[in-house]
Amino acid sequence: MTTVSRERRKLHGWGRTAGSVANIAAPGSTDELAALIAEAGQRGVIARGLGRSYGDVAQNAGGVVIDMRGVDRLLEFDRASGLVTVEAGCSLDALVDAVLAHGWFLPVTPGTSAVTVGGAIACDVHGKNHHRDGAFARHVRSLELLTPEGETITVDPEQQRELFEATAGGLGLTGIVTRATLQLVPVETASMLVDTERAANLDVLLTRLTSTDHLFRYSVAWVDGRARGAALGRSVLLRGDHATADDVPRDTDRLLRARGRRLSVPPHLSAAPFLRGRPLNAFNELRYRRARSGKSIETIDQFFYPLDAIGNWNRLYGAGGFLQYQFLVPFGAEDALRTLLESFTAAQPVLVVLKQFGESFGPLGFPAPGWTVALDLATSVPGLARLLDDADEVVAGAGGRVYLAKDSRLRPDFLARMYPRLDEWRQVQSTLDPEGRMQHDLSRRLQLVR
């Protein structure tokens, strides 16, 4: 019997939509995990990190959810080679704090540091350097997996390739990642050298990204989601690399992580009226016009995690919540990309970003060579369900897909079309979990597991 206590509580994703009630267990060490998995009943069990996935992928209605945040020790760190081993509940934020001062940084980071290493592996998250460095799992040298049957195994990316690739992007359904060894990248400073450039429309944007992205380790474009017609896709390109010692003043502590002030949104403050219509248009206009071309120095937090400066910014959308629609279309499907961007202008997307992807990884991995766009949309947008269904149709028709880590509304009939290697993944997953112990709301909604 486990001594880990349970709490019955409602959970939802970062978008604060479609929550559900689960029995939450918060173990303090990996020893307690096996017992929790063994107890999984009809409604199954799933791991949860920091809940930064937008939809229902880290919640399990009526079942058990294992809150991994307490399993977060840094176990080993080789300052010479940049190999670090951590428990899966360790946040990327804590990891940066631990290694940056020694001249190391994350090989891949999403747009928030408030994610766990386990969550980063389970969704095989990508960063602004995907076109060059691939996604998170490519930099994992080894991981430890507690399988659904309760066995703890070490998974080597080469030796247990099938299992490794099914776990990376496997949305927690191959078991619980308990620890991982990661290869960090060396940096000389805690600063970023950023190159800013405006693009007047989609054609200019895509041409610039195609012709010059290889010159930058990191690249992303902020797109004015309200611009239409000839200005459709007008954007600000933000690209760069870690600043070298020569780029920053000599007398400063080059590796000091200078975090700005953090604000927090009170529970019932809704900014929903300002996230649409004229205020939104004005903000976009300003954002575009004020972007100055040229080079500048930013902190890593400013460059990678601008939204982390405001805690709980997701509450700004009010009670109805919001969702993020992130899709990918392969290179060559630029017409589909244009159609999609056009179709969203009327839906008042609050935030739109676009970037290029490089090689794909694993049967359930999201990235593949092509263009990805992420749009934040208030769920109160009229006709949103239909609009997104139509978008799915265009995306699937173009040979693309949507990102399951952000999904909260895809229809199951689209899944196999978007993820052509789904059956391959199901094969590996069902061999590992014949009794169907691992479950979450998304796996049931999309009938991901057979």
Partner 1 sequence: MKDAVGRIQRVLVLGGGSEIAHATLAALLEDGPLTAILAARRPDELETAALERSGASIERIAFDARATATHGDVFERAFSGADIDLVLIAFGVLGDQQRDERDATTTVEVAETNFVGAVSALTHATERLRTQGHGTIVVLSSIAGQRSRRSNYVYGATKAGLDAFAQGVQLALADEEVHVMIVRPGFVHTRMTAGLKGAPFSVSAAEVATAIVEGARNGTPVVWVPRKLRWVAAVLRALPAPLLRRA
Ligand X SMILES: Cc1cc2nc3c(=O)[nH]c(=O)nc-3n(C[C@H](O)[C@H](O)[C@H](O)COP(=O)(O)OP(=O)(O)OC[C@H]3O[C@@H](n4cnc5c(N)ncnc54)[C@H](O)[C@@H]3O)c2cc1C
Count of residues near ligand X by CB under 6 A: 33
336 binds ligand X (CB under 6 A): no
Closest distance to ligand X from the beta carbon of 345 (Å): 22
Report the C-alpha gap between 416 and 262 in whole angstroms: 42
Report the C-alpha gap between 305 and 128 in whole angstroms: 11
- Select the binding partner of residue 122 from partner 1, ligand X, none (C-beta < 5 to 8 A, by kind): ligand X
List the one residue from 90, 96, 176, 333 that touches ligand X (CB under 6 A): 176
289: CB partners within 8 A, 6+ apart = none
Report the C-alpha gap between 87 and 177 in whole angstroms: 8
Both tokens of 247, joined, read: 């780029």
- Is there a contact between 136 and 121 (Cβ–Cβ < 8 Å)? yes
Question: x/- binding map, residues 132-171, to ligand X, per CB under 6 A?
Answer: ---------------------------------------x
Map the footprint of ligand X across residues 274-313, applying CB under 6 A: 307
Output the CA angle 278-384-269, nearest 5 degrees.
55
- Is there a contact between 215 and 295 (Cβ–Cβ < 8 Å)? no
List the one residue from 50, 61, 180, 209 that touches partner 1 (CB under 8 A): 61
For residue 403, what is the DSSP state? -
- Select the binding partner of residue 57 from ligand X, partner 1, none (C-beta < 5 to 8 A, by kind): ligand X
418 binds ligand X (CB under 6 A): no
Both tokens of 329, joined, read: 């279309």
Report the C-alpha gap between 109 and 300 in whole angstroms: 11
SS3 410: coil
68 binds ligand X (CB under 6 A): yes
In terms of CB distance, is 22 or 255 closer to ligand X? 22
In terms of CB distance, is 17 or 339 closer to ligand X? 17
Closest distance to partner 1 from the beta carbon of 385 (Å): 4
Dihedral angle, C-alpha 424, 160, 174, 137, nearest 10 °:
-90
SS3 7: strand
Question: x/- binding map, residues 38-57, to partner 1, per CB under 8 A?
Answer: ----xx-----------xx-
49 binds ligand X (CB under 6 A): yes
363: CB partners within 8 A, 6+ apart = 165, 166, 169, 419, 421, 422, 424, 425, 428
- Select the binding partner of residue 126 from ligand X, partner 1, none (C-beta < 5 to 8 A, by kind): ligand X
358 binds ligand X (CB under 6 A): no
Closest C-alpha to 345, from 243, 231, 441, 439 = 231
Among the residue ranges 19-27, 174-182, 275-283, 332-340, the one whose residues contact partner 1 (CB under 8 A): 19-27
Q: Which residues bind ligand X (CB under 6 A)?
A: 14, 46-53, 57-58, 68, 88, 110-112, 115-116, 118-120, 122-123, 125-127, 171-172, 176-177, 307, 405, 440
Q: Which residues bind partner 1 (CB under 8 A)?
A: 8, 10, 15, 17-22, 42-43, 55-56, 60-63, 321, 323, 379, 384-386, 388-389, 408-409, 411-413, 441, 444-445, 447
